[in-house]
Amino acid sequence: MKILKTLALLLTLVSTVAYALLEVTIVKSEENAFPIVIAPFEVIGDADQGADIANIIRDNLNRSGQFNALSSNEVITNKIDFSYWKARNKDAIVFGKIEKVSSKVFNVYIYVYDIYTKKRLYGKKIAVHNSGIRRISHYLSDKIYNVLLGQKGSFDTRLTYVTVTNDEKLGRVYQLEISDADGHNAQTVVKSSYPILSPAWSPDQKKIAYVSFKNGRSEVFIKYPFMRVKSIKLPRFDGIASAPSWHPGGQGLALTISREGNKDLYFYNLESKKLIRLTKDVAIDTEANFSPDGKSIAFTSNRSGQVQIYIKDLTNGTIKRATFEGSYNAKPVFSPDGKTLALIHRIGKDYRVALLDIKTRDLTVMTQNKLDESPYFSPNGGMIIFATNRNNKGVLSVISLHNNQIVELAQKGAEVREPNWSNYSK
Amino acid sequence: MTKKIILLTSVLFLSSCAGTSIQDLGDKFLDLINPSDPAVEVEDLSDSVLMLDDESGSFSGEDLGDAGMNAGEESSGKTEAEIVVGTLADAGVSFVLYFSYDDAEIDEEATQVIIDHANFMKNNPAISLRLEGHADERGTREYNLALGENRALSVKEVLGLYGLENRVEVVSFGEEQPIAFTHDEDSWQKNRRVEFIYQ
């Protein structure tokens, strides 16, 4: 019950005015998805939200690429016609009901059954505030994903990204946005006439580090999107300060800092305010990303004369080159299990998201695009979100690593770029 | 108004669960790093760095305003710097240098342009220069930010041969401020540039 209260409260935070809506489209659907049925919820009393819950869950599971979730024509109460669904090659069925308790509070009941064994895999009754319907739907999507696949879902998480619009009076307007993982509940965190880039959720999801040019040059700031406190500016010297990457412990960030023209990687401890130099090379070192255990960093460097990715083991100080295929590999990010890097790989004249198996050095190009940027893993490692161009417009693209299904998030009249995916809620 | 109320709730909520979220990690990161690693240098910035960003305390942190207004202010009359810079422009000297893909090298032609600027600066000792480095959209944003800085630094290096380095400021915008917007070599060529801005 305590957990539920927390969920409801968090929801009131994200349910402020939605400034802009991301339109979500499944661009490329693939086979090899788990066939399931998610029935419309039975509604008891005045509770139209019942339809929303089933729809949100269905959309979530379909977006993951892991499921082919269809609706049923009728509400299912408690008698399941297992042979009917078995004949239609469905593996599992989800149904439930929503019951009005008071003007703003509802009881949600949900059940998941395996059609072959006829066993109940999950059953739950949850009390939820009206404003918490979306959040509960994401939470339940994660539960269903977990009982059916044995893996964690990434639905009850958030995105941050940058939009760029052209305003008649103000010129280009840059907005740092946050939204739910499905693109709903979008909110503006920073609005500026100056470029914004590289937003990154802190591991506790309370802060976003980002780069702004509002003082005439690139500087790193930390914003608290849910708190009314001042943002923090991180140190800079005579050149650029950029490319923030949180240490998984949250106590500080890796940054690119240029001093006397030399761009190297540093770690800035937010508590002790100590700055620790991590690389020292006359070449460009940038785009650091911490491994999930915090013991190494992957980064981009042109120290070999080409732009390639290196991994520094912070415990012994050794630096090893990680990419050997192609003449341009940049912007590495570790997968949550630490075994793979997502990166930008140039092939011919095109820049595409690729995956590198760190141990075997196998490189797999994941897209057919021309200008991919800024890949980032979903917290369960099942998807990669990145920015690309579609019809001369910046959009976000999400690729399922299960079957390469692609979902695009676009905004009318705006370029969308620089995506970053939060960790799980606590 | 609704927004304010929601914000207050959020502050109350967050402070009520602060006990579980504060992590006392201290200098844990320092323990991890190998002390014999020659790259590692530690600096204590606790006294020297301005930490709070006073200009954007509000939730939505709107930085709009100054940028939109600047255009109007500039039309009120030319400064002395603008008048002397006008003479350089009249002499046909370019205020933009262009670069090859993923490259910060200065060719012979560009060197001649920089020399013209160096002579101009020597003749006008009150003037200072801001070099703004840019990149095209290809490749990653943060790498391009670094590349843009290297381009501006290459120009500064030549000016340094004339003893002008203290009057030159270098800024990089990476691929964030293109002047041409199509996704082809035509635009990319125009965007890989260093701009000379006198102040």
- CA dist., res. B54 & res. A369, Å (int): 41
Question: Residues A137, A57: contact at Cβ < 8 Å?
Answer: yes
Within a domain: A81: yes
- CA dist., res. A418 & res. A385, Å (int): 9
Q: What digits encode the pLDDT tens for the residues A247-263?
A: 999 999 999 999 989 99
φ, ψ for residue B75 (rounded to 5)?
Answer: -75, -5
Within a domain: A23: no
Question: Residues A182, A168: contact at Cβ < 8 Å?
Answer: no
Q: Which ipTM score applies to this complex?
A: 0.91
- B32 in contact with A at a CB cutoff of 8 Å? yes
Give the CA dihedral A230, A235, A237, A243, nearest 10 degrees: -100
Identify the residue whose tokens are 């979220």.
B21
| Domains identified in chain B and CATH numbers | 99-198 (3.30.1330.60)
User: A71-85, A117-131, A153-167, B76-90: which range is least confident on average?
Assistant: B76-90
- CA dist., res. B110 & res. B156, Å (int): 12
Of A149, A177, A204, the position where a domain reaches its end is A149
Residue A368 has pLDDT above 70, yes or no: yes
What's the confidence (pLDDT) of residue A235? 86
What's the confidence (pLDDT) of residue A237? 87
User: What's the domain count of chain A?
Assistant: 2
Question: Quick one: tokens of B53?
Answer: 């960003």
Q: Same domain for A386 and A239? A: yes
What's the confidence (pLDDT) of residue B47? 59
Interface of A with B in 322-361 (CB under 8 A): 328, 330-331, 344, 346, 351
Question: Residues A153, A141: contact at Cβ < 8 Å?
Answer: yes
- CA dist., res. A258 & res. A241, Å (int): 6
DSSP 3-state of B39: coil
Q: Same domain for A118 and A196? A: no
Residue B115 has pLDDT above 80, yes or no: yes
Q: What digits encode the pLDDT tens for the residues A399-413?
A: 999 999 999 999 999
- A218 in contact with B at a CB cutoff of 8 Å? yes
Of A129, A149, A169, the position where a domain reaches its end is A149
Within a domain: A113: yes
Q: What mean pLDDT is predicted for residues A76-82?
A: 85
% of residues, chain B, pLDDT over 90: 54
Q: Same domain for A187 and A129? A: no
DSSP 3-state of B156: helix
State which H helix or E strand residue B104 sits in: none
- CA dist., res. B68 & res. A278, Å (int): 39
- CA dist., res. A164 & res. A228, Å (int): 25
Question: Quick one: tokens of A300?
Answer: 């981009």
Which of A72, A56, A22 minimizes the C-alpha distance to A133? A56
Question: Quick one: tokens of A75?
Answer: 């509400």
% of residues, chain A, pLDDT over 70: 94
Within a domain: A397: yes
Within a domain: A426: no
What's the confidence (pLDDT) of residue A76? 85
What's the confidence (pLDDT) of residue B5? 37
User: A48-62, A177-191, A350-364, B23-37: which range is least confident on average?
Assistant: B23-37
Tell me which amino acid residue B75 is: S
**Interchain contact, B68 vs A170, CB within 8 Å:** yes
Between residues B192 and A237, the one the model is more confident about: B192
- A31 in contact with B at a CB cutoff of 8 Å? no
**Interchain contact, B23 vs A249, CB within 8 Å:** yes
Question: Residues A61, A36: contact at Cβ < 8 Å?
Answer: yes
Tell me, what DSSP letter sits at residue A211?
E
**Interchain contact, B149 vs A17, CB within 8 Å:** no
Of A109, A124, A149, the position where a domain reaches its end is A149
Burial class for B92, CB neighbours closer than 10 Å (0-12, 13-18, 19+):
exposed
Question: Residues A394, A417: contact at Cβ < 8 Å?
Answer: yes
DSSP 3-state of A366: coil
In order, the DSSP letters of B78-102 are: --HHHHHHHHHHHTT--SEEE--TT
Q: Same domain for A135 and A193? A: no
Q: Same domain for A119 and A263? A: no
Q: Same domain for A200 and A288? A: yes
Question: Quick one: tokens of B40?
Answer: 């590692």
- CA dist., res. A268 & res. A118, Å (int): 55
What's the confidence (pLDDT) of residue B126? 92
Q: Same domain for A141 and A191? A: no
- A263 in contact with B at a CB cutoff of 8 Å? yes
What's the confidence (pLDDT) of residue B17? 36
Interface of B with A in 67-86 (CB under 8 A): 67-68
Interface of A with B in 219-238 (CB under 8 A): 221, 223, 226-233, 235, 238
Residue B164: pLDDT band by 50, 70, 90 thresholds?
very high
Residue A426: pLDDT band by 50, 70, 90 thresholds?
low
Query: How many contiguous H segments (helices) and E segments (strands) does chain A have?
Result: 4, 31
Residue A186 has pLDDT above 60, yes or no: yes
Q: What mean pLDDT is predicted for residues A416-425?
A: 93
User: A264-273, A379-388, B84-93: which range is least confident on average?
Assistant: B84-93
Residue B3 has pLDDT above 70, yes or no: no
> Between A198, A204, A277, which is nearest B39 by CB?
A277
Burial class for A45, CB neighbours closer than 10 Å (0-12, 13-18, 19+):
exposed
- A282 in contact with B at a CB cutoff of 8 Å? no
Residue B8 has pLDDT above 50, yes or no: no
Q: What mean pLDDT is predicted for residues B131-141?
A: 97
Question: Residues A332, A350: contact at Cβ < 8 Å?
Answer: no
Longest CA pairwise span in chain B (Å): 68
Q: Same domain for A166 and A137? A: no
- Measured between beta carbons, the chain B residues lying within 8 angstroms of A268 are 45
Question: Quick one: tokens of B74?
Answer: 């500039």
Q: Same domain for A170 and A90? A: no
Tell me, what DSSP letter sits at residue A261?
T
Residue B46: pLDDT band by 50, 70, 90 thresholds?
low
Between residues A50 and B83, the one the model is more confident about: B83
Residue B24: pLDDT band by 50, 70, 90 thresholds?
very low
Q: Same domain for A128 and A196? A: no
CATH number at residue A53: 3.40.50.10070
- CA dist., res. A258 & res. A242, Å (int): 9
Note the residue count of chain A: 426
CA B174 to chain centre: 8
Q: What mean pLDDT is predicted for residues B155-179?
A: 97
Residue A17 has pLDDT above 80, yes or no: no
Residue A15 has pLDDT above 70, yes or no: no
| Chain B residue at shortest CA distance from A278 | B40
Question: Quick one: tokens of B110?
Answer: 């560009």
Residue A311 has pLDDT above 50, yes or no: yes
**Interchain contact, A12 vs B6, CB within 8 Å:** yes
Residue B53 has pLDDT above 60, yes or no: no
Task: For residue B39, give every residue at least 6 positions away whose Cβ sits within 8 Å of its Cβ, in sequence order, or none.
Answer: A264, A277, A278, A279, A280, A317
User: A312-321, A350-359, B35-44: which range is least confident on average?
Assistant: B35-44
Q: Same domain for A272 and A239? A: yes
Name the average pLDDT for chain A: 91
Q: What mean pLDDT is predicted for residues B51-56?
A: 46
Q: Same domain for A112 and A213? A: no
Task: For residue A197, give every residue at least 6 positions away whose Cβ sits within 8 Å of its Cβ, in sequence order, or none.
Answer: A162, A210, A211, A242, A418, B141, B142, B145, B174, B176
> Between A191, A235, A261, which is nearest B49 by CB?
A235
Within a domain: A67: yes
φ, ψ for residue A228 (rounded to 5)?
Answer: -90, 65
Q: What digits encode the pLDDT tens for the residues A122-148?
A: 999 999 998 899 999 999 999 999 999
CATH number at residue A410: 2.120.10.30
Residue A416: pLDDT band by 50, 70, 90 thresholds?
very high
Q: What digits encode the pLDDT tens for the residues A203-244?
A: 999 999 999 999 999 999 999 999 988 899 998 888 999 999
Tell me, what DSSP letter sits at residue A67?
E
Residue B74 has pLDDT above 60, yes or no: no
- CA dist., res. A176 & res. A193, Å (int): 12
- CA dist., res. B143 & res. B196, Å (int): 22
- Taking CA atoms, A274 is separated from A220, A236, A243, A252, in Å, by 16, 13, 18, 10
**Interchain contact, A314 vs B32, CB within 8 Å:** yes
CA-based nearest distance B129→chain A, Å: 14
Q: What mean pLDDT is predicted for residues A172-177?
A: 96
What's the confidence (pLDDT) of residue B69? 37
Within a domain: A235: yes
DSSP 3-state of B143: helix
Within a domain: A11: no
pTM over 0.95: no
Question: Residues A182, A421: contact at Cβ < 8 Å?
Answer: no
Task: For residue A93, give every residue at least 6 positions away whose Cβ sits within 8 Å of its Cβ, in sequence order, or none.
Answer: A36, A37, A38, A39, A76, A80, A85, A112, A113, A115
What's the confidence (pLDDT) of residue B41? 80
Cβ contacts below 8 Å, chain A against chain B, sum to 251
- CA dist., res. A71 & res. A150, Å (int): 23
- B12 in contact with A at a CB cutoff of 8 Å? no
Range(s) of the domain holding residue A98: 31-149
Residue A72 has pLDDT above 90, yes or no: no
Burial class for A29, CB neighbours closer than 10 Å (0-12, 13-18, 19+):
middle
Between residues B186 and B6, the one the model is more confident about: B186
- CA dist., res. A384 & res. A390, Å (int): 17
